[in-house]
Amino acid sequence: MTAMAELGEAELQQHFDDRVAKDQRIEPRDWMPEAYRKTLVRQIAQHAHSEIIGMQPEGNWLTRAPSLRRKAILLAKVQDEAGHGLYLYSAAESLGVDRGELTEKLIDSRQKYSSIFNYPTLTFADIGVIGWLVDGAAICNQVPLCRTSYGPYARAMVRVCKEESFHQRQGYESLMTMMGGTDEQREMVQDATDRWWWPSLMMFGPPDGDSPNTQQSMAWRIKRHTNDELRQKFVDMSVPQAEALGVTLPDPELHWNAERGHYDFGEPDWSEFKQVVSGQGPCNEQRLARRRRAHEEGQWVRDAAAAYAAKQAATEEEAR
């Protein structure tokens, strides 16, 4: 019996708290409070679902990309998102849940995914703006998660962030190209910016005062910054990028506050956020229906893999 196995609940809790306080990672076999495990499953599953659902708005443009180069880049990006989903489902599985079960919860609307993916992609400029703003927001949120207290989640984030940074640059580069094109292309970029700006700010979650999970998640060092801190960081980062691009961010209250050393900005429409999160956004139904259909159509693949694994196991058994 190991020394850890002989400890009582209070001592285990103390040991856990000490490790978190010292910024050491909690690993799958370590003792952890049940509420910590549940919070991680909730957040990691939502994150994984977002990556998978996030393939849809961009996948929508794969057959209509304006050149072979743009098509190849977009295809690679959408494939990366599938990979991110897989790392994240694996991290969630290390907490004792099953990926199949999490998928069922997503398609039955018992678990959430990011609000941002419930908006439509109306023109190819949306693809550039998703790279610039949505992946930019994702980077702001996810770079600190490389230091989250749960080891498998932190490690998954390192690779995800490297890929996200490529995604962000490809988006910005395609917008730069469009801005150097015709008036119509410039209008498309401005229009896409107008539609995606506020939903991107909502990706960071409700204001801190209305965020039921932040305080505890910060104490456990799952979250390393609050929702409002990250939103501010994103605004500060995006303003000079918008200027370099030559687009206007659709917020009349946006201006530099020298005293704070940050940009002041307007309040997102939180009633819209609540509506989208509760399933009433412009594309919620379509996104879930498509995910459900893909899951059903993939049943034969899962059956074939299970049958093959059973056959392999039986052959190995016979050979013993």
Closest CB 160 distance from ligand BYC, rounded Å: 9
**Of positions 96, 212, 252, 261, contacts ligand BYC by CB under 6 A:** 212
112 touching ligand BYC, by CB under 6 A: yes
Closest CB 92 distance from ligand BYC, rounded Å: 12
Q: What type of residue sits at position 227? A: N
Output the residue with the shortest Cβ distance to ligand BYC: 54
Which residues are CB-neighbours of 75 under 8 A, at least 6 positions away?
A: 62
* CB burial readout 201-219, b (16+ within 10 A) else e: bbbbbbeeeebeebeebee
What residues pair up with 22 in beta bridges, in sequence order? none
Q: Judged by CB, which is closer to ligand BYC: 152, or 206?
A: 206
Interface of this chain with ligand BYC, residues 145 to 174, rule: CB under 6 A:
none
135 touching ligand BYC, by CB under 6 A: yes
Q: Name the nearest CA neighbour of 193 among 237, 248, 138.
A: 248
**Of positions 205, 220, 233, 281, contacts ligand BYC by CB under 6 A:** 205
Closest CB 4 distance from ligand BYC, rounded Å: 29
Q: Of 133-141, 253-261, 287-295, 299-307, which segment contacts ligand BYC by CB under 6 A?
A: 133-141
**Degrees, nearest 5: CA angle 8-11-16:** 125
Look at the chain and count its residues: 320
What residues pair up with 257 in beta bridges, in sequence order? 262
Joined together, the tokens standing for residue 161 give 């962030």
Calculate helix-pair angle for 227-245, 135-142, nearest 10 degrees: 140
Q: Tell me which residue has tokens 């008036």.
A: 183
Q: Of 41-49, 91-99, 284-292, 294-302, which segment contacts ligand BYC by CB under 6 A?
A: 41-49
- Cβ-contact 207, 270 below 8 angstroms: yes
140 touching ligand BYC, by CB under 6 A: no
Closest CB 184 distance from ligand BYC, rounded Å: 26
221 touching ligand BYC, by CB under 6 A: no
Q: Which residues bind ligand BYC (CB under 6 A)?
A: 42-43, 46-47, 50-51, 54, 81, 112, 114-115, 134-135, 138, 141, 202-206, 211-214, 217, 223, 227, 277
